[in-house]
Structure 1
Amino acid sequence: MKDEIKQNKENMKNITDDMAEMKAEGDEIMEDLRTMKNMFKSELSLEVMVRAAHKISQKKSRVELNNWDDKLHILKSKSKLRRNKIYIDSELTTEERKIQKEIRDSARGSE
């Protein structure tokens, strides 16, 4: 339980993004930071403070933001990115992902 609370606090300001066509520019952290800052600025018209950005896979990245307000602004504006096939979500713990999957599955089953 304490580990989950600690994980939730760490994830509170983090988001993940899934880009359908992310450029393969290597795993350099500084390049990832610039890429994410530029994407938020050009696509969402937001100036945010990115603490760190890491590629999880070829198409998926994890972005750590400096504050909660930046995360809220990004999450409110994320619908603008759908036309570019870029999807942004809050980072969730394993247990939270399981719960969300169960909710989606039960919603699909009741249609």
Structure 2
Amino acid sequence: MATMVTLAAGPAAAEPRDCTLERWWSGAAAHCGGEGTYILEVDCFGVSVSGGQPMGPYYKSVTGHTDPARDPIFTHPRRDCMNPLTLGQIGIATGARITEVPTRPAPSNAYE
């Protein structure tokens, strides 16, 4: 019986841990230890001509990885509400969070 329970349980799911969120007026950055992936979400308010309504709230997100060998750039992901030249976005960050599953709609442009 103990063997069946052990086999049925399988390996434990890898999870990020010890996460830190660094915020500034126009964005945020995240860093987590442990194993696995996580999502940095930033809520913005301002002008965004890259999709959706031109004035109001818009959302930015990025998937981060805890393993630098997998992707060293995304072990400390960041998103900024100020991208006037590339995305036509001028805004402030009104909220930021680290999650394991998305809580906001996906960004509507190819750069995010």
* TM-score, scaled to structure 2: 0.25
- Relative contact order: is structure 1 or structure 2 higher (C-alpha 8 Å, sep ≥ 6)? 1
Where is the strand percentage greater, Structure 1 or Structure 2? Answer: 2
Larger radius of gyration: 2
Q: Which protein is richer in helix relative to its size?
A: 1
